[in-house]
Structure 1
Amino acid sequence: MAAESTGGSVLIIGASRGLGHAMATEFLDRGWQVVGTVRGTGRTLLHELADENPGRVEIACLDIMAPQQMAALHDRFASRRFDILFVNAGTANKHQDETIADVSTEEFVEVMVTNALGPMRVIEALQDLVTVTGLIGVMSSGQGSVGNNEKGGREIYRASKAALNQCMRSYAARHAGERRALLLMAPGWIRTDLGGPDARFSMEETVPDIVDVVIGKQGKPGLEYLDRFGEVVVW
């Protein structure tokens, strides 16, 4: 069952397609105002969503590794406060069966930067756009769990999400005592460009659950690492 809408405002980083776009759609369906970012200047699914919902969707351009774009985004919305900032950014190495012994240094760095450094840089740059009792969330993965890694596989992706989780824990420690809620979301294996066509779950069945958890975490200060059912994931 969908969580009751609060009619708030959400800033979704990485909303042009996939999970980010699906989350934008779900928030809209619940009566929220949505600002979503896209990387380039071309037309995306988010632009179609904006056309279908005039006055309720705003689009901003952002490459999370471009400091000038980050600053411009912050300046554009400096006079506003969002109830939720959710960062949805992720990639994987081309051959995901590669081990740490096989992957090139360049590709390893690219995955780490995109999945760990980039999202945290966004949070550091945009945190003051979130209300003091709002929520900052990041799309993590169950594969970022160290405790649950008993079978291995997807070594580079796992390492990058574990790094993201540790960075977010350090961020939470630095901001202990503040009233904002912090969330690492483990959405499950979903059929997206990243998850692939053989993934277990569809976006249609998972995204409402994800948004339920995000909305439900509001008003609960501190960091949690949760799956799409709101269950705690082992660190």
Structure 2
Amino acid sequence: MQNILIAGASRGIGLALVRAFLERGERVHVVVRQPGNEALKNLAEQHPQRLNLIVSDLTGDQAAERIAAALDAPLDIALFNAGISARQTIEDVSHAQIVELFLTNAIAPLRIARALSTRMANDAVIAFMSSQMGSVELARSAEMPLYGASKAALNSLLRSWSRAADRPNACLLALHPGWVKTDMGGDNAPVEIVDSAAGLVVSLDAHRGKSGCYFVDYQQQTLPW
């Protein structure tokens, strides 16, 4: 039985990943900002010994300490899925919105992952929900430039960490979930949540025991940085 951490799992892809890992018998540590999520409550009742709910705002100063204190075994996979969208242009975005966007989508996930890196198993994966919009080479964020920039920042920080003196033994992974039918993706998106989650699980499993830093999608295709 693996120990899986999923940060940002109250709905959408994160919640689907929790279900997928629980259904195959893993123990899942779920980090959410607020308590009282009905879907997670139901899952906890169905899997009382294998779902550990951790309430913490990932952007808070004590987030890493709270999460670490709630863990009782090394992690095999840590996935940081929490993030926010942004449709503002650089002309109309406020300073506060810029701080919230980059803190939530790039800084906070890396900060917590670095703090938890010593809690990972030997063949572990530390993964982050990125986006094809974060690819500078693909340049697909013309309609959402600030969101794309925040994911590009996430990717850049991840690659820098992979070359740093304190780089972890775990494989580092940036994931593109596809254009998914979520609140963020909209009803016109071609990929169903369950299909994205199933593919992401395969991508995560495929990188267990590897070294290095990779950018792949839910169909196991490599994306350009």
* TM-score, normalised relative to structure 1: 0.90
1:104 aligns with 2:112: no
1:9 touches 1:33 (CA, 8 Å); kept in 2?
yes
Report the Cα distance in structure 2 between the residues aligned to 1:151 and 1:73, rounded to whole angstroms: 32
Does the C-alpha gap of structure 1 residues 216 and 150 become closer, same or farther in structure 2, counting only changes over 3 Å? closer
Report the Cα distance in structure 2 between the residues aligned to 1:38 and 1:150, rounded to whole angstroms: 29
1:227 touches 1:233 (CA, 8 Å); kept in 2?
yes
Does the C-alpha gap of structure 1 residues 152 and 69 become closer, same or farther in structure 2, counting only changes over 3 Å? closer
Q: Taking every aligned residue pair, what percent have the same amino acid on both sides? A: 34
Matched positions, count: 225
1:187 touches 1:206 (CA, 8 Å); kept in 2?
yes
Correspondences of 1:48-127 after superposition (within 5 Å): 48-77=42-71, 79-93=72-86, 96=87, 98-127=88-117
Correspondences of 1:1-235 after superposition (within 5 Å): 7-77=1-71, 79-93=72-86, 96=87, 98-149=88-139, 152-174=142-164, 179-235=169-225
Once the two structures are superposed, what CA deviation does each residue of 1:13-33 show, in whole Å capped at 9, x if it has no partner? 111211111101111122211
- Secondary structure of 2:62 counterpart: helix
Report the Cα distance in structure 1 between the residues aligned to 2:112 and 2:12, rounded to whole angstroms: 19
1:81 touches 1:129 (CA, 8 Å); kept in 2?
yes
Q: Which runs of 5+ in 1 are unaligned?
A: 1-6
Root-mean-square deviation (CA, aligned residues, Å) is 1.7
- Secondary structure of 1:67 counterpart: coil
Report the Cα distance in structure 1 between the residues aligned to 2:106 and 2:155, rounded to whole angstroms: 8
* TM-score, normalised relative to structure 2: 0.94
Q: Which runs of 5+ in 2 are unaligned?
A: none
- Give the C-alpha shift of residue 80 in structure 1: 1.6
Tell me the amino acid that sits aligned with residue 75 of structure 2.
F
